[in-house]
Amino acid sequence: GDHDMIVPFLSTEAWIKSLNYSISDEWRPWIVDGEVGGYTRTYTNNMTFATIKGGGHIPQDNLPKECFAMFKRWLSYEL
């Protein structure tokens, strides 16, 4: 989640930057039931970094709908 204080998404973003992957698609929202569920950024190696808006370290506890939507999209290559 983007509110994770144990593993902040900024640390993950910095690690990805250290890999020197080029960005192919800048930050954009992904939608669940008409609302923003989080944001994604895609890189040229087909890697997509996704966040869950408002989620903490264990977002499935308080945002199960968003987590399940992200998981289904990941399985079907939609993110």
Half-sphere exposure of 14 (CA within 13 A, CB side): 5
Residue 19 sits in a domain whose CATH number is 3.40.50.11320
Taking residue 39's Cβ as centre, other Cβ atoms within 10 Å add up to: 17
Per-residue pLDDT band for 42 (boundaries 50, 70, 90) equals: very high
Query: Would residue 16 count as lying in a domain?
Result: yes
Query: Would residue 21 count as lying in a domain?
Result: yes
Structurally, how many domains does the chain consist of?
1
The parent domain of residue 48 ranges over 9-76
Mean pLDDT confidence for 65-73: 93
Query: Would residue 2 count as lying in a domain?
Result: no
Query: Would residue 1 count as lying in a domain?
Result: no
Which of 3-7, 47-51, 52-56, 58-62 has the weakest average pLDDT? 3-7
Name beta bridge partners: 48. Answer: 42
Mean pLDDT confidence for 43-64: 91
In one-letter notation, the amino acid at residue 61 is D
